[in-house]
């Protein structure tokens, strides 16, 4: 199938597909007599996997590792679990940071709404060199 069809089937931009080829996440496709890329059905699954993993926040290196583990065999499940558990821990840290930011911003907005301070607490909080989380 041509790259445009692969793009439509996976909802992945053509340039992104080419990028995945350049960095080795997607194997170089065969070429037609006219030098057009020709993809196989298995490429649909691989691009879909990469796209979904990116949506879930996996980094390129992590995706490369997952693809390598998937190519090995069923014994790689523990390694996949370990990599995913690390990613889950990173996400939980980000959630904690976001919750702390939400508290600080909500407090700042309340202070601003109350009108009890001179100046602007929102600008002051954003201008502060210290991290108030």
Helix (H, G, I), strand (E, B) or coil at 31: strand
Q: What is the pTM of this model?
A: 0.71
Sorted by where each begins, the domain ranges of the chain are 3-72
Instruction: Note down pLDDT in tens along the chain; length 133 residues.
Output: 999 999 999 999 999 999 999 999 999 999 999 999 999 999 999 999 999 999 999 999 999 999 988 877 767 788 888 989 999 999 999 999 999 889 888 887 887 766 666 677 667 767 775 554 4
Q: Which CATH number fits domain 3-72: 1.10.1660.10, 3.50.50.60, 3.10.105.10, 3.40.50.740?
A: 1.10.1660.10
Q: What is the pLDDT of residue 133?
A: 47
Q: Cα(108)–Cα(106) distance, rounded to whole angstroms?
A: 5
If 0-12 CB within 10 Å is exposed, 13-18 middle and 19+ buried, where does residue 90 land? middle
**Which tokens in the block code for residue 80?**
């996949």
């Amino acid at each position: 199938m041509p790259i445009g069809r692969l793009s439509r089937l996976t909802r992945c931009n053509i340039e992104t597909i080419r990028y995945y080829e350049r960095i080795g996440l997607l194997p170089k496709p065969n070429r037609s007599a006219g030098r057009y890329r020709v993809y196989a059905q298995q490429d649909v699954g691989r691009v879909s996997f990469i796209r979904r993993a990116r949506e879930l926040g996996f980094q390129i290196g992590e995706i490369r590792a997952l693809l390598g583990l998937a190519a090995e065999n069923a014994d790689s499940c523990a390694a996949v679990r370990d990599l995913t558990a690390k990613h889950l821990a990173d996400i939980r840290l980000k959630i904690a940071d976001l919750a702390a930011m939400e508290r600080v911003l909500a407090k700042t907005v309340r202070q601003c709404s109350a009108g009890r301070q001179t100046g602007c607490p929102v600008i002051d909080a954003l201008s502060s060199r210290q991290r108030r989380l």
